[in-house]
Each structure stands twice: as structure tokens, then as C-alpha cells.
Amino acid sequence: MNHALDAVDAVVMPTIMSTDRPTAVAEAIEYRRAFGSKLSHLMLPVTAVELRSVQDHVAAVAESSGYRITLQDYPRPTGVHVDVEVLCAALTSIDVVDAVKEEAPEHTERIRRLSDAGIPTIGGLGGARAEHDLAAGACGLAAGISVPQVLAAALDAWERGASAADAIAPALELIAFETSTSQSVGIRKEHWRRQGIIPNAVVRRAGAGWSTDLETRTSSLLAPWLTDS
């Protein structure tokens, strides 16, 4: 990863997915040791439903690493579904969080509430509801899909007063394929591999990799983007 950070002029923000505080702190310290000032932010999941616990976890990771935090509200992998009012209270009382990436099931409504509280919020979940999220007050879009250029196109359209939904429409079926199954990580990694972005599509243990029975869908959905690249 150090080579990648040296080679590209882009924002790199690692994600710490552990909900265990000592493990998360240890990972944050390791990022600081390995990358120092090459990083400025870490993405950290919401790990608790109680106000003080949310505050303490975020503060511990930020203080141990020296990095600013983008908080990821993503209950599906963590099992943590915090009340949006608790989230608002936590984030208006600490100053190390610069934004929330909102990926709860009712994320558009939560974006509206967080934005009303003055908390910068980013729409996630593949960007499939980009126009709704932006209309609710999202200041940006971010997703681990294999064609992130459609998110940039959607933001550009929105800022010009055009339709973000129209901009992202050509990729909707691909986004659904990449985000709605237990193999989503493996599918996206295979799609990145075919675009020449990563050398292999190996998924870490406990993850479900891409499988050959997905070839027909992968080939048909990815083909237009390979042609355009």
C-alpha cells in the first residue's frame, strides 16, 4: 500500500472494521506507524448505541493515531443500529469527526436529520439512491463499487442542476449486483481485477469470493465499462 500512496495523487482513507476498541486502537496505531502523514483520516464504524460509548470509541481511535475520523453508520456488517438522535448528540459534542458516511437502511432520512444538525454527511450504499441522498442534504457520495466514476458524474450533474439519477442510471444494475449479495466483496474485487486496478481478486478468510457461476452476469454488466476505459 505504501507504493500506491507514493504513486497516486488521491485521497486514501483506510477503514477499521473491528468493533472491539483495543483492536481498533491497535490497528489505528499501526496505520500511523506505517503511513504517518501520508494519511489524514480513518473510516471508523459506529460500534455502540449509547452516547458515551460512541464518543469514547471515536476519541480513543483518533487520539491514538492522530488522524481525523470519518464515521461509518453501517449496521449490516456491524449489527449496531444507533438511534440517529444519539448519533447527532455524539457528533456535535466531539471535534475529531469530519463526516458521517450514512449506510443504515433508512439512510436518506438519517442524512436529512444529520445534515439539519450541521453534520457533513456522505451517501453510501453503492450510490443507488444518489439523488435522494443529495436532496436530503448529503455533501458527497462514496461507495466501494467498481465504477466510481458514475458517482463523480452524479455529483457533477447535481451541482449543475441536472439529474443525478440520470447520471447514475447506466450503472444501477451493476451496482445492485455488486452490493446486494454475500459475495459482494468478491464480485467487486473481480471487477477491479478485470479493469486492471488490482492484480488478483483474493478475498480474506470468512469472505465469499467471486465464483464462476457469476461469469455471465459479470461479463454482461461489466462489458460497457471495460469498453469505455
pLDDT, greater one: 6 or 113? 113
pLDDT in tens, 164-213: 999 999 999 999 999 877 888 899 999 999 999 889 888 876 667 888 89
* DSSP-derived secondary structure letter, 206: T
Averaged pLDDT for residues 155-168: 96
Alpha-carbon separation of residue 1 from 38, 66, 154, 198 (angstroms): 11, 19, 29, 11
Q: What percent of the chain has pLDDT over 70?
A: 93
Strand order in the sheet with 140-141: 41-45, 68-73, 97-102, 121-123, 140-141
Specify whether the CB–CB gap between 70 and 100 falls below 8 A.
yes
pLDDT (0 to 100) of residue 43 = 96
Averaged pLDDT for residues 223-229: 77
- Give the global pTM: 0.86
Query: Which domains can be identified in the chain, with CATH numbers?
Result: 2-123 (3.20.20.70)
